Amino acid sequence: MEKVVIIGSGPAGYTAAVYAARANLEPLVISGNTIGGLLTQTSEVENFPGFPEGVNGYELTMKMQTQAEKFGARLEIANVEKLELTDGGVQKITLDNGNVIESKALIIATGATPRWLGLESEERLKNCGVSACATCDGAFFEDMKVVVAGGGDSAMEEALFLTKFASEVIVVHRRNELRASKIMAERAMNHEKIRFVWNSQIVEILGESEVTGIKVKNNADNSESVIECQGVFVALGHVPATEIVKGQIDMDDAGFIKLENNTSMTNLAGVFGAGDCADHRYRQAITAAAAGCRAAIDAERYLG
């Protein structure tokens, strides 16, 4: 019987592992599909405290892994196939390699993935002008023209943030009205640097090795046009990786795990949530790391 199992190996999972290991709980981390999580897919991280020169996302998560292992955390490279959760009892975890693990406490740190447009050109130009995080990459677009795809609160927030750097921000939305809240929509629509392209879908991101523009299709008359830009920020919302706990744990309508009273506790005693799978608002490496720390402390107290 394990004391603590942590599902997920991003900043939330590894920080939970560092804290749980230092509390002598010998945590077992289940890596998930991408060892190191989403952060390994970004290039330069410039906003993680302690790295004034910036740090490569992959390198940062590998350092977190080394730190967790140094204190006795174990890493199992596998995916979770099935979870059987209980309220205050034994948590049963079945892995895709056939292993079945039982644990007294469970920390779910499975993350979330951005919803992408699904274009081949988008995939090819990721980190070469295509991004899903203005907070992470906006500063690289000083005095440049950028496009934001989407019409929700995330898109408005990204667009407003990008006005600090970009010379012009063009929001491309597939309908002629925004999904965003009134206050965010008004703020964006009243901003002198933001322009809207309505009823339009991005059908291709242009450029060989870096973004040079986008091709958009007007959904009303099917006409196509080209908009020149150097950056494309895809802000179509996030999909939390919470399929495995669906129906067993309290979640919001979008599938993010609900946490109780500003803690990492879920509605099930002994089951804790940390990082982007339980946070649609901040979604930063540093906030995920902080959430992992909270989950480990809550798990330690629960076991105590």
Q: Given candidates 2, 157, 276, 279, which one binds ligand NDP under the rule CB under 6 A?
A: 157
Residue 277 among the catalytic residues: no
Residue 30 or 277: which CB sits closer to ligand NDP?
A: 277
Q: Judged by CB under 6 A, does residue 175 bind ligand NDP?
A: yes
What gap in Å lies between CA 261 and CA 250, rounded to an integer? Answer: 14
Pick from 236, 83, 132, 295: nearest CA to 146: 132
Catalytic residue among 87, 133, 221, 279: 133
Q: What are phi and psi of 232, to 5 degrees?
A: -130, 120
Q: Judged by CB under 6 A, does residue 153 bind ligand NDP?
A: yes
Q: Given candidates 8, 13, 152, 270, which one binds ligand NDP under the rule CB under 6 A?
A: 152
What gap in Å lies between CA 118 and CA 130, rounded to an integer? Answer: 12
205-244 footprint of ligand NDP as x/- string (CB under 6 A): -------------------------------xxx------
Catalytic residue among 96, 136, 153, 277: 136
Residue 213 or 270: which CB sits closer to ligand NDP?
A: 213
Residue 27 or 150: which CB sits closer to ligand NDP?
A: 150
Q: Judged by CB under 6 A, does residue 160 bind ligand NDP?
A: no
| Residue 252: other Cβ atoms inside 10 A | 11
Residues 54-93 that bind ligand NDP (CB under 6 A): none
Q: Judged by CB under 6 A, does residue 151 bind ligand NDP?
A: yes
Residue 19 or 256: which CB sits closer to ligand NDP?
A: 256
**Residues 75, 85 contacting (CB under 8 angstroms):** no
Q: Given candidates 58, 280, 286, 287, which one binds ligand NDP under the rule CB under 6 A?
A: 280
**Residues 7, 277 contacting (CB under 8 angstroms):** no
Minimum CB–partner distance for residue 116 and ligand NDP (Å):
8
* Binding footprint of ligand NDP on the chain (CB under 6 A): 115, 117, 150-155, 157, 174-175, 179, 181, 201, 236-238, 280
Tell me which residues are annotated as active site: 133, 136-137
